Amino acid sequence: MHRSSESTPPSNPQDVNLHLAGQLRQLRLGRGWSLDQAAQATGVSKAMLGQIERGESSPTVATLWKIATGFGCALTSFLGMPVAPMAQAVFRDAAQLRSKPATDDMLVATLFPYDPRFAFELMELTLQPGYVRQSEAHAAGVTEHVIVLRGKMDVWIDGAWQALVEGAAVRFSADQPHGYRNLHAEPAVCHDLIHYPSGMVR
């Protein structure tokens, strides 16, 4: 068996900002885009994109999704460290990977960043008590699979909140408005597997 020796994501807020700044700038320059072009593609203001690139602003997860969609890349392009090429097996530890990558009161462990060989990314999400997030529609064909590991949570699908208890799972089209919330006294922990259509992610 092969164990991957992956670096853990940054946990200090300033380090998180610098990591996001570097990733965003690298993606933008790789496409040859100006900040104006990036703003037009993502729907995020030029001022906000500039602040993120300079490490001066911590975006919300919703903003990161808008940026990822506009750039045609996976969300974990901003959240996760690359996984080494697959050998016999790759082991990942959620406890070591768990961090708070945005201003939202949610913890994320990027278990497996997007890999074009498999066309999905897998994250562990921890929704703190009182957490609510409404998400805009992602790119056409994106599908999410949510499996509740601990606690209780709700997902917004087809215009209504649906309750999920521990052990429950749901698959839904994420190219429509959707959301997550935890109105309970204890954190809710789930796996979120996001699948992208072939050829969508660059």
Domain end, chosen from 45, 78, 111, is at 78
Tell me, yes or no, whether 85 lies in a domain. no
Encoding tokens for residue 162?
């649906």
Residue whose tokens read 């901003």: 78
Tell me, yes or no, whether 8 lies in a domain. no
pLDDT by residue (tens digit) across 123-153? 999 999 999 998 888 888 999 999 999 999 9
Residues 127 and 155 in one domain: yes
Q: At what angle do helices 13-30 and 46-53 cross, to 10 degrees?
A: 120
Closest CA to 179 of 201, 198, 153, 202: 153
Domain end, chosen from 78, 112, 131, is at 78
pLDDT by residue (tens digit) across 25-49? 999 999 999 999 999 999 999 999 9
Amino acid (one-letter) located at 36: D
Q: How many domains does the chain have?
A: 2
**Domain containing residue 45:** 13-78
Residues 131 and 44 in one domain: no
Q: What is the pTM of this model?
A: 0.83
Q: Are strands 153-157 and 143-150 parallel, antiparallel or unpaired?
A: unpaired
Tell me, yes or no, whether 200 lies in a domain. no
